[in-house]
């Protein structure tokens, strides 16, 4: 594998230490210092006196490259550092110490610039590590104690004051506040939390004091898993990078053989030995593929860092490149396009007021554990409706509930349940119930001796669902498919609001995977789900996208792309970022190839000076790196 940065002494230092950080810049600095000193001594005392300073310049500028090249040779790989060292030593062998020194200075300077520039992307990720406090205020044995975060145990109760960051994942045990979750989910609006609400390490408590029961140890916290995922993604290679690496070994050997062949041709054409050798080593330098090798990783690292700051986690460069080619997006319905929980959408009073209808229904349903009952009670609380404890309560499984509230017997349930209870349902009411069902809603009837009214419940759409689908169409996504386990009538009601192209209803998880598999035969497919029930389909798709994955292990394990928050609009943003990354990679590769071709032609045709060849070669490498770093500031547009 060809490498462009030295891995000598700086690799032996502890990563993140001052030595590791300073060394790349110190190498070209000392090389330049010795070169300048050599020129001064050479002017006043002649070449022999300057020789030790030239040797020191070579050692300063070339030691790191020599160690890296040796390590590559031991792995039976030809390293680009080896090509530079051969050229520098070749220049010295014909008395061109200054030329060789300038080569090593510019090469080490280019490596240092790449080291610090690409380091910006890594620092953008390492900054996540600073989000979690090092210490936590915990309550143990009735006392508040300050302990290291690593010593927190599951079940501990920690105290977080206003403006403090949460040190661990947990559940709010006491208190109410607003939490800034943007470091985890990318959502800019703070989230209100209270007892029972899950919270994450690294987020910021904004208002009230909170007591939080720890649910995960430090190494298992959501923030720690995010950091691990991004680090894994940074080390994974994109397809274009793997192709370049496979090509690189053959190319390096061709460059060396080409330089030898060029030397022989120049000798045959009547060039002097030193002149022919000088052109050959210049060719060795300008044909080296430094810019080609760094073109993709600099761009991919920047894209990964940019996405992570937005709550979008790519699991590797391969997924960045593949997402750019997606033509079909498949959505799971429940929990992805919809909120995943029922809510009251219609209150239809028939014999009482809306408030009385909700009060009667909520009073009896507060004893039930059914999801529909919870939705009714929630609707009452949201509207400020006071509830009364029932004197008796009975649940008829799958049909409804019956109980006594005040002095009256109350029934809440399905149409069939009401008929079984001898409650009269008029033809007009029956038609209205049918219309509600056509709209994908579940009608719940409320009665005492007579029918009091109807409550309609449905799994409501996410606010971002329609804007996200509209944005996907604006980006040129040709086909949008919705999968669901619900019956077709409910699916049609949701699809009509979102304007999706196809609906597949009544599917089991393995059937969803079969549908996705069939779609992949027609093009690149992204499947968006919650990462739990949709795991087979996510794994089958070309790109599996888990949404709302903060704190969800299954989502992070299964998907190729993880949207930490519940905002579906992150998906079109990720597609825009991936397409921009692919454009930048193409720009870098085209630019690097053109520069190499021009420098080779100039060397062969007019005898380009080694120093100018080095400037062109290393300059193109640095430009490629900085072009890739532009992705750190890329902002997707709202389409």
Q: State residue 134's pLDDT score.
A: 83
Query: For the chain, what are the domain ranges?
Result: 9-126+230-304+578-633, 133-220, 342-460
Locate tokens 């070449």: which residue? 47
pLDDT for residue 601 is more than 50: yes
Angle between helices 239-268 and 273-286 (to 10 degrees): 170
Separation between Cα atoms, residue 199 and residue 223, nearest integer Å: 11
Given pLDDT bands bounded at 50, 70 and 90, which one contains residue 197?
A: confident
Residues marked as catalytic: 332
Separation between Cα atoms, residue 55 and residue 65, nearest integer Å: 15
Instruction: Please indicate whether residue 276 or residue 244 has the higher confidence score (pLDDT).
Output: 276
For the segment 460-484, the average pLDDT, to the nearest whole number, is: 92
CATH architecture assigned to 133-220 = Distorted Sandwich (2.70)
What is the spatial order of strands in the sheet that 442-447 belongs to?
338-349, 451-461, 442-447, 408-413, 400-405, 392-396
Tell me which residue of 563, 582, 583 sits closest to 573, measured CA to CA: 563
Q: What angle do CA 420, 425, 426 make, to 5 degrees?
A: 155
Give 445's contacts (C-beta < 8 A, 6+ positions apart): 411, 412, 413, 414, 415, 417, 418, 423, 425, 451, 453, 454, 455
Whether the predicted model's global pTM rises above the 0.75 cut: no
Q: State residue 6's pLDDT score.
A: 37
pLDDT for residue 475 is more than 90: yes
pLDDT for residue 9 is more than 70: no
Segment 53-106, tens digit of pLDDT: 989 988 988 888 888 888 878 887 777 777 788 888 888 888 888 877 887 887
pLDDT for residue 186 is more than 70: no
Instruction: Please indicate whether residue 294 or residue 599 has the higher confidence score (pLDDT).
Output: 599
Residues constituting the chain:
639
Taking phi first (over 0 means left), then psi (-120 to 50 degrees means alpha), and beta for anything else, what does residue 489 get?
Answer: alpha
Separation between Cα atoms, residue 454 and residue 446, nearest integer Å: 6
Segment 18-66, tens digit of pLDDT: 455 666 778 888 888 988 998 898 878 877 888 899 899 889 888 888 8
How many other C-beta atoms are found inside a 10 Å radius of the C-beta of residue 440? 22
Instruction: Please indicate whether residue 482 or residue 113 has the higher confidence score (pLDDT).
Output: 482
Give 122's contacts (C-beta < 8 A, 6+ positions apart): 234, 301, 305
Q: State residue 317's pLDDT score.
A: 78
Per-residue tokens: 117 = 């520039």
Tell me which residue of 40, 151, 185 sits closest to 564, measured CA to CA: 185
Locate tokens 């030595």: which residue? 19
Q: State residue 225's pLDDT score.
A: 66
How many other C-beta atoms are found inside a 10 Å radius of the C-beta of residue 208? 14
Per-residue tokens: 111 = 């490596």
Separation between Cα atoms, residue 559 and residue 225, nearest integer Å: 14
CATH architecture assigned to 342-460 = 3-Layer(aba) Sandwich (3.40)
pLDDT for residue 242 is more than 50: yes
Q: State residue 151's pLDDT score.
A: 86
Per-residue tokens: 379 = 């609707």
Reduced 3-state DSSP string for 336-349 = HHEEEEEEEEEEEE
Strand partners, 402: 394, 411
For the segment 405-412, the average pLDDT, to the nearest whole number, is: 89
Segment 517-529, tens digit of pLDDT: 999 999 999 999 8
Per-residue burial over 251-284, b if 16 or more Cβ lie within 10 Å, else e, is bbeebbebbeebbeebeeeebeeeebbbbbbbbb
Tell me which residue of 354, 404, 572 sits closest to 475, measured CA to CA: 572
Quote the mean pLDDT of the chain: 82
Given a contact cutoff of 8 angstroms between Cβ atoms, the answer to whether 170 and 213 are in contact is: yes
Per-residue tokens: 416 = 């069939």
């Amino acid at each position: 594998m060809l490498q462009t940065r030295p891995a000598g002494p700086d690799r032996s230092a502890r990563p993140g230490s001052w030595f590791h950080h300073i060394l790349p810049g110190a190498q070209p600095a000392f090389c330049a210092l010795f070169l300048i000193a050599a020129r001064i001594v050479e002017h006043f005392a002649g070449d022999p006196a300057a020789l030790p300073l030239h040797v020191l310049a070579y050692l300063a500028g070339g030691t790191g490259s020599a160690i890296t090249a040796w390590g590559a040779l031991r792995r039976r790989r030809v390293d680009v550092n080896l090509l530079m060292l051969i050229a520098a030593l070749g220049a010295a062998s014909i008395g061109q110490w200054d030329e060789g020194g300038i080569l090593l200075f510019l090469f080490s300077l280019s490596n240092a610039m790449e080291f610090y520039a690409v380091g910006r992307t890594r620092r953008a990720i390492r900054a996540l590590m600073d989000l979690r406090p090092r210490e936590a205020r915990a309550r143990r044995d009735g006392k508040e104690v300050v302990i290291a975060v690593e010593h927190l145990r599951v079940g501990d109760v920690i105290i977080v004051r206003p403006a403090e960051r949460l040190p661990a994942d947990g559940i709010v045990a006491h208190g109410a506040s607003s939490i800034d979750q943007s470091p985890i989910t990318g959502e800019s609006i703070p989230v209100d939390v209270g007892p029972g609400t899950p919270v994450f390490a690294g987020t910021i408590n904004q208002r009230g004091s909170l007591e939080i029961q720890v649910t995960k140890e430090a190494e298992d916290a959501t923030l720690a898993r995010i950091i691990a995922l991004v680090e894994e993604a940074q080390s994974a290679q994109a397809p274009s990078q793997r192709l370049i690496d496979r090509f690189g070994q053959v190319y390096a050997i061709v460059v060396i053989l080409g330089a030898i062949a060029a030397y022989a041709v120049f000798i045959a054409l009547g060039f002097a030995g030193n002149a022919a050798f000088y052109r050959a080593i210049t060719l060795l330098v300008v044909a080296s593929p430094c810019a080609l090798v760094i073109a993709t990783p600099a761009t991919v690292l920047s894209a990964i860092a940019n996405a992570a700051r937005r709550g979008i986690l790519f699991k590797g460069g391969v997924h960045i490149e593949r997402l750019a080619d997606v033509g079909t997006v498949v959505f799971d319905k429940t929990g992805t396009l919809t909120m995943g929980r029922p809510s009251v959408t219609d209150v239809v009073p028939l014999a009482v007021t809306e408030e009385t209808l909700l009060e009667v229904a909520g009073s009896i349903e507060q004893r039930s554990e059914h999801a529909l009952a919870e939705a009714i009670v929630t609707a009452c609380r949201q509207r400020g409706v006071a509830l009364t404890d029932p004197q008796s309560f009975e649940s008829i499984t799958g049909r409804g509930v019956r109980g006594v509230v005040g002095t009256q017997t109350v029934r809440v349930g399905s149409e069939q349940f009401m008929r079984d209870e001898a409650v009269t349902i008029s033809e007009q009411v029956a038609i209205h119930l049918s219309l509600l069902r056509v709209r994908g809603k579940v009608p719940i009837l409320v009665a005492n001796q007579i029918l009091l009214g109807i409550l309609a419940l449905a799994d409501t759409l996410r606010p971002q669902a329609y804007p996200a689908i509209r944005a996907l169409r604006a980006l040129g996504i040709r086909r949008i498919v919705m999968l669901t386990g619900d019956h077709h009538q409910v699916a049609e009601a949701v699809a009509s609001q979102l304007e999706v192209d196809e609906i597949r209803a009544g599917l089991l998880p393995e059937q969803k995977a079969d549908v996705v598999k069939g779609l992949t035969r027609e093009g690149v497919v992204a499947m968006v789900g919650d990462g739990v029930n949709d795991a087979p389909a996510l794994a089958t798709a070309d790109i599996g996208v888990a949404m709302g994955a903060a704190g969800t292990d299954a989502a992070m394990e299964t998907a190729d792309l993880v949207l930490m928050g519940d905002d579906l609009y992150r998906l079109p943003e990720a597609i825009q970022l991936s397409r921009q990354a692919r454009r930048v990679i193409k720009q870098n590769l085209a630019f690097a190839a053109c520069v190499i071709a021009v420098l080779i032609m100039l060397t062969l045709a007019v005898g380009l000076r080694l120093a100018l060849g080095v400037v062109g070669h290393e300059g193109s490498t640095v430009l490629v790196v900085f072009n890739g770093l532009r992705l750190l500031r890329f902002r997707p547009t709202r389409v």
